[in-house]
Amino acid sequence: MTELIVTTEYGQAEGIVRDGCRCWFGLPFAKAPIGDLAFRHPQKPESWEGVYKAVKGRANPIQGHGHKKYGYTDRDCLYLNVFRPDVEEEDLPVMVWIFGGSYCTGGAGLKSADSEELEYEMAKFARDTKTIVVTFNYRLNMEGFLNLSYIDPSFEMNNGLYDQIAALGFVRENIGAFGGDSGNVTVFGQSAGAACILALMTHPDAVPLFDKAVVQSACVDSFWNIEESKKMTEAFLKYIGIGKADIAKIRTVSAEDVFEAARKLKKKVMGMGDVRCAFSPVIDGMTIKDYPSKLAASCDKPLLMGTNQQEANLFVNEIPDILMPFAARKFHLAPEHGKGAKSRYSDQVTQSIYRGPARAIASAYKGDVWTYEYTYQTPAIRQSGAGCFHASELPVLFGYDLGITPVDDPETEKIGDLMRSIWGEFARTGKCAWTGNRVI
């Protein structure tokens, strides 16, 4: 049995027992990206003396636009959490979660400074899958993905992606101390996190750090080329009120100013009729050599990849019916008329952004691949008429409501058990028990 005090390459760390797991929270996997290290690729953390108390999560990264403002954020955010089921076995499979949020919002830290609750509580998922689960923060919006390097080369690109690589490096090098199998690491993520996985699957620094991938509802084509990224940068700097000559000031702008400028940038991108995320990673020919949708198919790691039946309902349902024809023209959708037109518009967006690109990757994939379509709706979602929308599978998969929908009814618990058995078996063996496309 793994002890609560473990020895990493940086020093000893003491965890706690919670919800049937041995947990280590708030472990640093990189130096704090502040001061001269802000807007740069992460560096390995310093070793520490004594026993590090890994008993509480840390802050989330600075947020951009989103449905809510994360109340507990800090630029010093590069920490991870480990959930190990309290079982006798050693060398457990490892699953590393990469959260989504349009590259702009989200986190794996605490819900608030005075809370013990994390944004992603993975104890049940770890117990039911019999895997060690790791969650971590990566930098978002301007600090994670804004292209400032053409203004000042000391500002590096795609820092958020390199944060992910740093976290995976920590896991590969240290997870054995927690009872995990360092040779059996599965990355899994949703939305922007899933799209990042597609980029990592052919990134030379990332490829040696994991063995399998689960890609859930990836925004497959949400990447900027160099020229597009410069236009986004120019607009963002205007909104945040910083000129190129004073670019160093961006290291210390307030979280509130970042949030408001990011909200304006999102509005600009939507006004352009572009469905990509405002802070999408940059295809620079070096860190990301081409669109991951073109490159990922050349990977040979076992892959589980799927989408939700009505992904776009999350976005389309927010548009008033009277404005839907205008929005359809803005986003170049084919005209729909009559009863159910809004639902058919949503189907178009789901197909073009999520389902179609995912299946194209799967059909060309070099390695073993299994696909699924998630169609289940919890009773609460079914009653609301919201449909099987983007991210609606997460509460069912993780076994708690996540602020999205209750999951404590017998029907939903049964579906959750099924999903966790599939994800866990894939993490253990790199295989799924079906051919073709599985409907969940």
Catalytic center residues = 191, 311, 390
φ and ψ at 350, to 5 degrees?
A: -55, -45
118: DSSP letter:
B
| Contact between 92 and 130 (Cβ < 8 Å) | yes
| Contact between 106 and 100 (Cβ < 8 Å) | yes
Element (H, E) at 16: strand 16-18
As beta bridge partners, residue 16 has 23
Phi/psi class of residue 107: alpha, beta or left (left: φ > 0; alpha: ψ in -120 to 50)?
left
Name the 3-class secondary structure at 84: strand
Distance CA 427, CA 87 (A): 17
| Contact between 56 and 116 (Cβ < 8 Å) | yes
Tokens of residue 219, six digits: 């925004």
Dihedral angle computed from the Cα positions of residues 395, 397, 398 and 402, in that order, rounded to the nearest 10 degrees? -10
The position carrying tokens 């130096």 is 31
Distances in Å between the Cα of 429 and the Cα atoms of 27, 94, 195, 296, 317 are: 28, 12, 23, 21, 39
Nearest to 95 by CA among 77, 110, 80, 78: 80
DSSP codes of every residue in 139-173: --HHHHH---TTT-TTS-S-HHHHHHHHHHHHHHH
Helix segments in 226-340, DSSP class H: 226-240, 255-271, 292-295, 313-316, 324-330
Buried b (16+ CB within 10 A) or exposed e, 49-59: eeebebbebbb
